[in-house]
Amino acid sequence: MKVKSLIVGACAAAALLLAVVPLAGQIGGRATRPKVQRPDGPVWEVIRKNCTACHGIDDYAFYSLDRAGWQKLIADKHKPDGDGLSDADRDVLLDWLVMKFGPDTKPFPRTYVPPEITTFFSDPEANRLMNRACTKCHGVDRVEKTRNSTEGWRVTLVDMRERGAQLSDQELEQLVEWLARVWGTNQDN
């Protein structure tokens, strides 16, 4: 009962937030979407000036391409008007795209739809899973230093799984629920 009313409350809050900020993704049959951190300086200037009038930058994470691939994708997606970039701006943008979403990176999957879970992790269960699935590449301290909303944790864990963390969908959702409960935030971030 208590958990259910909490979930209902969270959904109402999410619905309110939705009016103000687009959420990164949602439970209930919709795929989880990546969250791309805004670059600084000249790269952001180029993007702000040329790209964000129509859509955000999160979708870039669906791709891992070399320079020619990025140039072709952007050209193909914006026919017939073109990307509107000066040659100098295009260079700045392509440098950043290849550095961040180059051929060696793993693209964020378009397909992950969070399943509903009915059992929840205790602290020992969560710690056991993290010791098994997370410590190959970095310590659990990396996790403890991070605070995220539920959706933020989901995006991070889907990203970690793309990088090689071994988690079933069920385990991923149970860990998301536990992390948001133990190392969560009140904000959508």
Site residues (vs ligand HEC, CB under 6 A)? 50-51, 53-55, 59-60, 62, 73-74, 77-78, 83, 85, 130, 133-134, 136-138, 142-143, 146, 156-157, 160, 163-165, 167
Handedness of CA 141, 145, 150, 156 (dihedral sign): negative
Closest approach of Cβ 75 to ligand HEC, in Å?
Answer: 10
For 63, half-sphere exposure in the C-beta direction (CA atoms, 13 angstrom radius) is 17
Cβ atoms 163, 134 nearer than 8 A:
no
* Shortest reach from residue 28's CB to ligand HEC, in Å: 21
Nearer to ligand HEC, 15 or 182 (CB): 182
| Residue with smaller CB distance to ligand HEC, 12 or 45 | 45
**Cβ closest to ligand HEC, residue 7 vs residue 131:** 131
- Cβ proximity to ligand HEC: between 8 and 75 the closer is 75
Q: What is the largest CA-CA distance in the chain?
A: 59
Q: How far is the CB of 65 from ligand HEC (least distance, A)?
A: 9
Decide whether 14 or 58 has the Cβ nearer to ligand HEC.
58
Cis before 80? omega within 30:
yes
Q: Residues near 36 by Cβ (< 8 Å), separated by ≥ 6?
A: 56, 57, 58, 60, 61, 100
- Minimum Å gap between C-beta 26 and ligand HEC is 17
What's the rounded Cα separation, in Å, for the pair 52 and 48?
A: 5
In whole angstroms, the minimum distance from the beta carbon of 12 to ligand HEC comes to: 27
